[in-house]
Structure 1
Amino acid sequence: MKGDLDMGLFRRRRATTGTDELADEMTAVAMRFAAAYDGDGLDFGRESLVRLDEILDGVHRSGAQSADDVAMGAACYVFEVARREFGGRFLAFDEQNPVVLVVGEPEFRVGLCAIGKTRGRITLGAEDHIPFFYEGFVQAVAARRDATIV
C-alpha cells in the first residue's frame, strides 16, 4: 500500500440520510483506497472482492494495532462495488456501522453494513470473509426481500 488514505470522513461528520454529498465522499474514499494499492485487481467488479479479502487478510496477519483507515477504505470499496451493481442510497445506521447502503427501494429494502464487516475481517480473520458476505447481500437482493446484511 502506498500513501496516506485519509479515510477520516466518519470522524469528521456523522452520516446524513441519503445525501449526494455523502455518496460522493464514499466514492472518493473507495477510489483512493483502490489507488493506494495501485489498482492491484481492484476494478470495482464483484470478483475484485476476492482480492480485497486477500488485502484485508494481509493486514490481519500483520497484527496491525490500528487499521481503522484500511477498514474504512475497504468498506467504502465494498459499498462502491454494490452501488455500481445495484444502485442505492446511504443512510445513517448505528455505532458499529454508521452508514448503510440501502438498495431495492421502494419494492424492498436490503441494507449492506460493510464497515463492521471489514473491521471484523481485519481483527477476527477469515470468519468475516468478504466475498461470502457480499454473496449474502446479492442473494437478498435477488430474492427481493427486506434484509440487513451485517
Structure 2
Amino acid sequence: MSIYTPPVKHVDAPEVAAYWAERRRYLERVRKVPEIRQRFWKEVAMYLLRRLLWSFGFFPVFIAFWIPLVLSSFNPVVMASDFIPMLQDFVNSNPEVQATTISTLTIAWASIGFIFLVFDFVLTPFRSPYEYEADVYMRSWEQLNHEQLPDKV
C-alpha cells in the first residue's frame, strides 16, 4: 500500500443493499403520484424543446454568422460587401441553381444541428424529477438511519 492512498473504510454489502432497496421502493411509490408523473412529462417536453432549439436554432445560426465575421476580420462592412454580390448572383440565377443552393444550405444547417444535438444530449443528460425526489428522500432517510449506514453510500 502506498503512503498516498487514503485508508479505505469497510462497507458492508447489506448496508449498501438496504440503501438501494429503499431507493427502489421509494421510486416505485413515487412513480404512481399523478402530479410527479405530469411534472415528468412536462420536463421531458421542455428538455427536448430546449435541446432542439439550441441545436437547430442557436448553433447553426451562430456559426453561419460567426465564421464569415471572423473571415472578414470582424469588419461587418467587408462581410456585407462580400455577401451582396453573392446574394445578387443567387437572385439572378435560374430556379434550378436557386433550389440547389437552398438544398445545400438546408443540408448544412441540418447536419450542424444534428451534430450539436448529439453532443448536447451527451453533455446535458435529462434529470428526471423522479430521481430528484428520490435523492431528497434518501438524504432524509440517511439522516434518520445515520447510525446504520456507512459514511459514503
TM-score by length of 2: 0.23
- Larger relative CO (CA 8 A, sep 6+): 1 or 2? 2
TM-score by length of 1: 0.24
More helix by share: 2
Specify the structure having the higher radius of gyration (Cα): 2
More strand by share: 1
